[in-house]
Amino acid sequence: MFIQAVEFVRNYKKNGHSINIYGQEKATSVWRVGKTNTLLRGLECDLGDKPEDTFKEDLHKKLDGQLNKNGVAAVILANNSVSAAKKEEEIRKNILEDNLVDAGRERKDIFFADCSDFVGEIQGRKVRILKTEEINSITKEYRKWFGNKNYLPTDFTAKAALEEIKKRDYLLLPGIYTYQEEKPRDPQEIKKEIQKLSSEILETFHKLELERKEIEELLTKLKQDGEID
């Protein structure tokens, strides 16, 4: 994620070193791999001077004080942290109630984007990279939402008031909020679809009947020739 962020900035002809990268990892092996990977790519990262559990010891307690008034910090959460209970729920609660979510800071609603249906490009066995046009569509919708209090969500975006999120135990799973009930369909459209399916089914039955007759004729001939009893 760090590497992708720097590449994104560089692609827009800006200085990749204008991004300050901080991280923390509990597992020693993962922490060492992260340190090595960023060093090899020439990235200046503060991943702490040791592997440590964030819940036990926060190595970046004063991080928020390093932002200027226009600064933005990206907080990357593990998948289960947006829905897990206990400590994770408390973290989500504090982030939301302290008004720290950029996609909601100056509004009474939070912007959600569910990109799980985006195709992207598969790299390796587990990595899916979003295509440029997919990233642009997310950015476009975010900007539309940010500048319009009457924003109408699309099929992959949503807006939810803090009160609604509270009722859902501060869950931050986008799919919960972007889900839309299926709209009533036109009866004429349904009728046409049924007629089409009926025709296809009848045609299939006809083909099966022809195949059945061919098989019966073949079996009869084989019996007459004494090849089967």
For the stretch 179-195, pLDDT in tens is 765 556 677 877 888 88
Give the pLDDT score at 51.
92
Work out the pLDDT band at 81, boundaries 50, 70, 90: confident
Q: Where are the domains of the chain?
A: 1-76, 102-180, 185-229
Give the tens place of pLDDT for each residue, 47-63: 999 999 887 888 887 77
Confidence class for position 2, pLDDT limits 50, 70, 90: low
List, as one string, the DSSP characters of the chain: -HHHHHHHHHHTTS-GGGS-EE---SSHHHHHHHHHHHHHTT--EE--SS---TTT--TTTTGGGG--TT--------GGGGT--THHHHHHHHHHHTT--GGGTTSSEEEEE--TT---EEETTTEEEPPHHHHHHHHHHHHHHHT-TTPPP-SSEEEEEHHHHHHTTT---HHHHH--PPPPPPHHHHHHHHHHHHHHHHHHHHHHHHHHHHHHHHHHHHHHTTS--
